[in-house]
Amino acid sequence: MPLDPKRLARDAKRAQAQRPDSSIGRETTGVTRAVRAGLPVIRQLRAAGVTWAAIAEALSAQGVTQGEGQPLTATRLTAIVTQVEAQERRTAEREARRRTRPDLTASSEIVPPPELSLPDPVAPAPPAPAGSGAHATEEEIRRAGLHDLRQLLKKS
């Protein structure tokens, strides 16, 4: 099938411009976006002993609902948080891997986290930053592994 290179470049740029300003990818639902934005507060509440059910109820009160306006459940909330944290972790790992590659130079597309400076070209690469600022739990690691497996098993 003949390929029109000009059209390919034009369509790709347009698609890129339509994507949200995120290195993670397309948001699928407003709930995920809201949870991602509220994750620091959610973590603080959990550290203070607030239950997932109470947090889900509070989010629902601000209009963060699931399905057809149904209140967000604790189960759904923990699933979304786990998913968002796994995405953040993978993104951080990917960026760290890229920084160790000698064949790549820093470009405008790969912006390091604000708290980090660009690595010294002759110094060893810094350790991977913790994407969420906290260590992943065993359950999060297991869920991320299961997600990877399911991706692998998808029909190509």
Residues in 118-147 at the binding interface with another protein, rule: CB under 8 A: 137-139, 142-143, 145-146
3-state secondary structure the chain: CCCCHHHHHHHHHHHHHHCCCCCCCCCCCHHHHHHHHHHHHHHHHHHCCCCHHHHHHHHHHCCCEECCCEECCHHHHHHHHHHHHHHHHHHHHHHHHHHCCCCCCCCCCCCCCCCCCCCCCCCCCCCCCCCCCCCCCHHHHHHHHHHHHHHHHCCC
The least distance separating another protein from the CB of residue 49, rounded to whole angstroms, comes to 10
Q: Determine the size of the site formed for another protein (CB under 8 A).
A: 15
The least distance separating another protein from the CB of residue 105, rounded to whole angstroms, comes to 30
Q: Between residues 23 and 78, which has the closer beta carbon with respect to another protein?
A: 78
Binding to another protein by residue 153, rule CB under 8 A?
Answer: yes
The least distance separating another protein from the CB of residue 2, rounded to whole angstroms, comes to 25
Binding to another protein by residue 148, rule CB under 8 A?
Answer: yes
Structure tokens at 52: 């997932």
Q: Between residues 47 and 149, which has the closer beta carbon with respect to another protein?
A: 149
Binding to another protein by residue 156, rule CB under 8 A?
Answer: yes
Q: Which residues bind another protein (CB under 8 A)?
A: 137-139, 142-143, 145-146, 148-150, 152-156
